[in-house]
Structure 1
Amino acid sequence: MQPIAPDELPDVIRTYLDAHRARDLDAAVAHLTPDAAVTDEGHTYRGPDQIRDWLSRAASEYSYTIELVGAYRSDERTFDVVHHLEGDFPGGVVDLHFRFALRDGRIARLVIEP
């Protein structure tokens, strides 16, 4: 993986992350392919309805701050964005990788893991 500056991330990833942080569910889902899949905490959510439900739960379950601390590119369609979170979730502090796979200018796959 090649380190890149956050402003070198594709627009679709930057705007998705902005919507995710703002908890703007409609804007976040709009950046996904119709058959997108998101995996978080070992669970995979498929399609806009399941992903919207996951985003809604994730947004309300805990309070936390999130800071982008690294960005990497594997190829033109695969990116890893590292976020540092602090909040009232178990453990209180974690660095999470948001691993994106793009297709046709949209997010087809997102895996969130430590």
Structure 2
Amino acid sequence: MSQDIPAAVQRALTAIDEQDNDAFVAAFAPDGYVNDWGREFRGPDRIRSWSENELIGKQATFTDTQVTVAGNPLTILTQVGGKGFNGPSHFTFAVEDDRLASMTITA
């Protein structure tokens, strides 16, 4: 990706690439959350469970990733693959104090 990506977002993307659920959860602030098409998962335990069932646990892959909105929040468009949802999705990341405050997934 050509645009600068905040370190917290890059840590989450690297964790997904490496299928490392611990690193993925650690990218979030203690009160951070994932909003997956309107379903919200707040805090490390709920984010971990969500990822085990919907993301890293489904061996999700991101390809053809591009930044569509730079800044904070930052939005990427990526092609999701793996054993769960497959198709294009937007991921919007809000960063607070070098950790993810939120990750919101939409069409």
TM-score class, shorter: 0.7 to 0.9
Pick aligned residue for 1:100 from 75, 93, 102:
93
Segments of 4+ moved more than 4 angstroms = 87-90
The code of the aligned residue for 1:81 comes to I
Residues 1:5 and 2:2 are matched in the alignment? yes
Give me the whole-angstrom Cα distance separating, in 2, the residues matched to 1:10 and 1:39. Answer: 19
The alpha carbon displacement at 1:89 in A equals 4.4
Compare CA radii of gyration and give the structure with the larger one.
1
Identical aligned residues as a percent: 28
The alpha carbon displacement at 1:87 in A equals 4.7
Distance 1:5 1:13, change over 3 A: same
**Structure 1 portions without partners, runs of 5+:** none
TM-score scaled by structure 1? 0.79
TM-score scaled by structure 2? 0.83
What is the aligned partner in structure 1 of residue 79 from structure 2? Answer: 84
Distance 1:33 1:74, change over 3 A: same
Distance 1:51 1:15, change over 3 A: same
State the number of aligned residues: 106
Give me the whole-angstrom Cα distance separating, in 2, the residues matched to 1:68 and 1:37. Answer: 25
Secondary structure (helix, strand or coil) at the match of 1:23 reads coil
Give me the whole-angstrom Cα distance separating, in 2, the residues matched to 1:105 and 1:68. Answer: 25
The alpha carbon displacement at 1:81 in A equals 1.2
1:1-114 pair list within 5 angstroms: 5-6=2-3, 8-58=4-54, 59-61=56-58, 65-75=61-71, 77-87=72-82, 89=84, 93-114=86-107
The code of the aligned residue for 1:12 comes to A
Residue-by-residue CA offset, 1:9-49 (whole Å, 9 max, x unaligned): 11211121110232211111111111001011331000000
